[in-house]
Amino acid sequence: MNLKRILWAFLYTFLILDAVLIYQWVNVNQPLSDPGSTQSVKKEMQMDGINYGQLKNQPISGAYVAGDQDSQLKDKRKQLSNDWRTTESENSIVATPKQQMHLGNNQKEAVENLEKMIKDSSQVIDGREYRYDDFLTNFGQEAVTKNADGYTIIFSQIAESANNQRVFTSQRGRIQFNLDEGFNLKNYTQNHISNVESLRSISALITEEDALINAYQYNEIPNNSIVQASRLSYSTLTVVRGDVIFIPIWSFVVKDSANDVTIVRINALNGTLAR
């Protein structure tokens, strides 16, 4: 990927957008610069019956990230051992074990064995670039459920080499392991993002605490709800000339009084609601 070409394309495309977002960021976050205002809003949330755990308010940083959808997986699949049968679908590969592969007797054991497996280049291509994603595994659309089809366990690609806790939340950088009800691996589907790099200088991000308060002020957190989990990850913003642009996003899992679960997303660069 030509970094200079992408930089110019990105800056031209988002020049006006950035100005608008900066204006929105100032308006959204300025009231919360006063610690008293933050505490006041948190007290309102508690009065509304909203329960949440300890929120982090330490300064953090991040940036726009760009990458290419790796179309070379189909060529790299020859790296896998003969124990696998592979097929391709667009930019994905699907690998199916030729022999039964038992991963344990429960989800915890299955995850531990998969963490070992992805480090073996004859089993998974570039597997060391991924880590177990408990957030998507338990709260994403592919959330683990015991049913006739078995279980799904997600490993997401690491977005920042300096911080392996931040991953891509996009399907473009993910391995989805599909298990049967006996925790035997049926197959896995892999997508990979190549040429990952930051497009801009590192910027200050809003904290977890401010992100949740913003979500509340956007009326995205109903009364008498529980914030079950949260995380900071990289989500797709747009595609510029074939290159994918990602932004840091705060995600909150919210369970309302009717036990319905939704994921609320807040742009970590400007504090606005992300859809």
Q: How confident is the model at residue 20 (pLDDT cuts 50, 70, 90)?
A: very low
Average pLDDT over residues 37-66: 93
Could you tell me which residues come within 8 angstroms of residue 203 by beta carbon, excluding any fewer than 6 positions away? 61, 62, 63, 269
Buried b (16+ CB within 10 A) or exposed e, 225-248: bbbbbbbbbbbbbeebeebbbbbb
pLDDT reading at 23 higher than 50: no
Segments forming the whole domain that contains residue 211: 3-65+198-274
Separation between Cα atoms, residue 64 and residue 55, nearest integer Å: 24
Lowest mean pLDDT among 25-29, 76-80, 162-166, 186-190: 25-29
Distance of alpha carbon 275 from alpha carbon 263, whole angstroms: 10
pLDDT value of residue 27 = 46
Mean pLDDT of 239-265: 94
Give the separation between CA 167 and CA 173, rounded to whole angstroms. Answer: 9
pLDDT of 246: 95
* 156 CB-side CA count, 13 A: 22
**140: pLDDT strictly greater than 50:** yes
Whether 16 shows a pLDDT value over 50: the answer reads no
Q: What value does the mean pLDDT take over residues 11-37? A: 50
Q: Note the pLDDT of residue 72.
A: 82
Boundary residue ending a domain (159, 191, 223): 191
Task: List, for residues 104-129, the tens digit of each pLDDT value.
Answer: 999 999 999 999 999 999 999 999 99
Structure tokens that stand for 144 in this block: 């683990």
Looking at the predicted structure, is the pLDDT value of residue 170 above 70?
yes
Same domain, 216 and 185: no
Better-scored residue on pLDDT, 244 or 16: 244
Question: For position 57, which CATH number holds?
Answer: 2.40.128.690
Q: 61 and 11 share a domain?
A: yes
Q: What is the mean pLDDT of residues 82-108?
A: 94
Per-residue pLDDT of 34-44, as tens digits, reads: 555 889 999 99
Q: How far apart are CA 91 and CA 71, in angstroms?
A: 5
Least confident of 130-134, 137-141, 172-176, 191-195: 137-141
Q: What is the CATH number of the domain that holds 103?
A: 3.30.310.160
pLDDT value for 10: 57
HEC secondary structure over the chain: CCHHHHHHHHHHHHHHHHHHHHHHHHHHHHHHHCHHHHHHHHHHHHHCCCECCCCCCCCEEECCEEEEECCCHHHHHHHCCCCEEEEEECCEEEEEECCCCECCCCHHHHHHHHHHHCCCCCCCCCHHHEEECHHHHHHCCCCCCCECCEEEEEEEEEEECCEEEEEECCHHHEEEEEECCCCEEEEEEECCEEEEEECCCCEEECCHHHHHHHHHHCCCCCCCCEEEEEEEEEEEEEEECCEEEEEEEEEEEEECCCCCEEEEEEECCCCCEEC
**164 pLDDT tier (thresholds 50, 70, 90):** low
Residue 149 — very low, low, confident or very high, per pLDDT cuts 50/70/90?
A: confident
Burial state string for 114-129 with b = 16 or more CB within 10 A and e = fewer than 16: beebbeeeebbbbbeb
Do 77 and 50 share a domain, yes or no?
no
Is 120 in the same domain as 8?
no
Of the segments 3-7, 15-19, 67-71, 252-256, which one has the largest average pLDDT value? 252-256
Please tell me the total count of domains within the chain: 2
Mean pLDDT of the chain: 86
CB 229 within 8 A of CB 253: yes
Tell me what percent of the residues of the chain surpass a pLDDT of 90.
68
In terms of domains, do 38 and 125 share one?
A: no
Q: What is the pTM of this model?
A: 0.84
pLDDT at residue number 137: 94
Q: Are residues 125 and 213 in the same domain?
A: no
- Percent of the chain at pLDDT > 70 equals 83
Q: How confident is the model at residue 11 (pLDDT cuts 50, 70, 90)?
A: low
**Are 211 and 263 within one domain?**
yes
Among 2, 5, 9, which residue's Cα sits nearest to residue 239? 9
Residues 110, 103 contacting (CB under 8 angstroms): yes
